[in-house]
Amino acid sequence: MLEIAVKIKMLRANAGLTQDQFAKLLNISRSKVSKWETSIQYPDIADCLLLKSHFKINLDEFLESTPHLKQPHKLNSSPATYHVYDSDVHTLLILFQKYPDLKKALQKLHALPEGPQKELLNTITPLFRYLYTLSNKKQT
């Protein structure tokens, strides 16, 4: 589930704006932007209309808490083709925001030569499967 706070932060970051620049563009305070991005406060209807006007977003999709699960994105990588759904991407974005070191670790892993990369992946894959199993047990 993608929270409004994360969506706002992504919208701002994708526009290449700091919180201060984003606030000035919308003619609001920087502290308001900060509160939105930390879920302390949520945008009101007037604020949502400002976001729609400046960033050409669909408010229905923006305000939905569950991302659309449309066709998967195909990542062509030899020898297999991987399917990544929007929900997977959203989950990663939330995890990267919550755990910045995870993003750094994955970038370092990606930069390794193929041999050591596969070796490390073989080591950590069971851990990810275990974490996935635990997270599914908590939801039921």
CA dist., res. 19 & res. 9, Å (int): 9
- Quote the pLDDT of residue 47: 92
Per-domain residue ranges for the chain?
4-63
Query: Is the pTM above the cut of 0.75?
Result: no
CA dist., res. 71 & res. 45, Å (int): 31
CATH code for 4-63?
Answer: 1.10.260.40
CA dist., res. 122 & res. 112, Å (int): 14
The pLDDT averaged over each successive group of 10 residues in the chain (140 residues) is: 77 88 94 91 91 87 61 49 59 75 83 86 79 65
